Structure 1
Amino acid sequence: METNILDRNYVHVSGSGDRTIMFAHGFGCDQTVWKKKIVPAFESDYQVVLIDYVGSGRSDKSAYSRDRYDSLYGYAQDVIDVCDALELESIIYVGHSVSGMIGTLVSIKRPDLIDKLIMLGSSPHYLNEPDYYGGFEEEDIHELLDMMETNYLEWAKYLAPIATQNDELAEDFEARLKANDPAIARQFAEVTFYSDHREDLPKIPIRTLILQTSTDAIAPPEVGQFLQERIPGSELVTMKTAKGHNPHISHPEETVQEIRRFIDGTGV
């Protein structure tokens, strides 16, 4: 086991079982978003693996490289490195937001590593195009990135209520955003919002569940439909009660139920 990789990504392993489920956080967050209400629902049946991408949470930020992480492929390599270090294969991968596309890249490059892919509020491309609705105009992204550079704290205060659509959760999400290194966060945001992995979707070789809320300002319902239409054999579920971009935080019970239903058919 290569402990330097496990330290680099602050890997946490818990639970028991023959199968492994990895939860991967979205932009601006870290592995703690899963620990309180999602992980306990799986630890009795699965080995649970949590990671922090380099630059996030308690990862080794000295390992951050602008060149390595100038695309989502660098983050996908993080996942591959962790799986190889733990000698994992055929795992269940749950990726929130941008991590859904990171998992996509892993499944294409190393199909031996992921057996089932679950995308939670994910998007292959955030910019509106003539034949595609991603939810953002290019000037919207420019304004967000400029705000991050000129007043990072104000940006976090602005984005939190938009993403959560929940006044009670906005303060916690704002604090998570503020805990990030502003320079690293800005590059991660730029890489995320300008990424375009639409052409990769038909290449996904594994069963895929797309979990979508009806009121996600970051990944609107049209994006979920686009994913379902282009990922072979995928399943799209619009969650019944969850709203916003962080259903694993706002509605963990429904999130757990849908993940369980997909991976083992038991529900909760």
Structure 2
Amino acid sequence: MDVRQDTADTADTADTAHDVRHRNNVTVTGDPDGPVVVLAHGFGCDQQMWRLVVPRLAERHRVVLFDYVGSGRSDPAAWDADRYASLEGYAQDVVDVLRELDLERVTFVGHSVSAMAGVLAARMAPDRIAALALVTPSPRYLDDDGYRGGFTQEDIRELLASLESNYLGWSSVMAPVVMGNPDRPELGQELTDSFCATDPAMARVFARTTFLSDNRGDLAGVKVPTLILECAEDALAPRGVGAFVQARVPGSRLVTLDATGHCPQLSAPEATADALLDFLDRARDARPGT
């Protein structure tokens, strides 16, 4: 896969014409002098999904959050269906934010599909991303020979057909499955509300990008310290997926949270924050000059 380097001569002039901070609803909080952590949300979500872990991270880190174009409070005028029909388009959003804020050597934390967007962004901008934390990642949701992504061809076909014919109805059914924790229905309702707040046309493009992408071949190219966070039970990314990613990312570390569902930053925020802070400390200590 040909991924562009982060150099001035490859910058997309159409992107730089936008105010990226407004386009991606960028917010910055925490210690202004601390190491930088960038938090990226998954499909159907926005930066608010991180709100329960941000206070812990912000005590000693500068925390950057944003919404992908087409999500949350991003600028809908910046939407481009062709750009966001591939995961590289979302990775470019990441790189644009890092450039706009002139950030280097950050730790990128990507949830769900954002984990693979982070893998691509780290290749696009190797001087800007120094570490990756992949939260419930999946490089491919579709099963393949010798690989269990969790979904058959028929599963994906039905999922996308249902989403495209009745997005709101699909959201009300799918979001609680993704969230898990049926004994805590408020969590499923929050994710349902987040899904339903997304423009259906934009959500359809993002969904196809999410569920049809195959980034298994990109994992071996990761050159930075990497944490993989999985949940003990996850309907969207089965346990074997985390082990698959860990085996293919050189030197990576896999941590299994005692949590249920695909969104541990909401269902198990303390455990998620603990794991991220431990990784951030390890990554900091491993850097030259620290």
Asked if Structure 1 and Structure 2 have the same fold, meaning a TM-score greater than 0.5 normalized by the shorter chain, the answer is yes
Q: Give the secondary-structure state (helix, strand or coil) at the position aligned to 1:225.
A: helix
Q: In structure 2, what residue type is equivalent to 1:185?
A: A
Structure 2 counterpart of 1:64:
79
Shift of 1:44: 2.2
- Kindly indicate whether residue 34 of structure 2 is the aligned counterpart of residue 18 of structure 1: yes
Give distance in 1, aligned partners of 2:197 and 2:265.
20
Q: In structure 1, what residue type is equivalent to 2:192?
A: E
Unmatched segments (≥5 aa) in structure 1 = none
Shift of 1:77: 0.5
Shift of 1:265: 5.0
- Kindly indicate whether residue 204 of structure 2 is the aligned counterpart of residue 186 of structure 1: yes
Q: In structure 2, what residue type is equivalent to 1:184?
A: M
Instruction: Pick the aligned partner of 2:69 from 48, 54, 62.
Output: 54
CA contact (8 A) 1:127 1:135 kept: yes
Q: In structure 1, what residue type is equivalent to 2:263?
A: N
Structure 2 counterpart of 1:92:
107
CA contact (8 A) 2:105 2:127 kept: yes
CA contact (8 A) 2:95 2:124 kept: no
Q: In structure 2, what residue type is equivalent to 1:160?
A: A
Stretch of structure 1 that moved more, 54-63 or 157-166: 157-166
Structure 2 counterpart of 1:163:
178
Q: Give the secondary-structure state (helix, strand or coil) at the position aligned to 1:14.
A: strand
CA contact (8 A) 2:36 2:61 kept: yes
For the aligned residue pairs, the C-alpha RMSD in angstroms reads 1.4
Instruction: Pick the aligned partner of 2:252 from 221, 234, 242.
Output: 234
Give distance in 2, aligned partners of 1:235 and 1:116.
12
Identity of aligned pairs, percent? 47
CA contact (8 A) 1:209 1:234 kept: yes
Structure 2 counterpart of 1:45:
60
Moved over 6 A (4+): none
Instruction: Pick the aligned partner of 1:248 from 265, 278, 283.
Output: 265
Shift of 1:2: 8.2
**Number of positions where the alignment pairs a residue of Structure 1 with one of Structure 2:** 264
Q: Give the secondary-structure state (helix, strand or coil) at the position aligned to 2:226.
A: strand
Shift of 1:3: 7.3
TM-score by length of 2: 0.89
CA contact (8 A) 1:22 1:49 kept: yes
Q: In structure 2, what residue type is equivalent to 1:257?
A: D
Give distance in 1, aligned partners of 2:89 and 2:181.
32
Shift of 1:18: 3.2
Q: Deviations over 1:28-74 (max 9, x none)?
A: 00001112x11111212111100100000000011010111110100
Matches within 5 A, 1:166-177: 166-167=181-182, 168=185, 169-177=187-195
Stretch of structure 1 that moved more, 82-91 or 162-171: 162-171
Structure 2 counterpart of 1:81:
96
CA contact (8 A) 1:214 1:239 kept: yes
CA contact (8 A) 1:2 1:85 kept: no
Q: Deviations over 1:118-158 (max 9, x none)?
A: 00001000100112110001111111111111111110111
Q: In structure 2, what residue type is equivalent to 1:264?
A: D
Structure 2 counterpart of 1:263:
280
Give distance in 2, aligned partners of 1:215 and 1:205.
29
Q: In structure 2, what residue type is equivalent to 1:46?
A: H
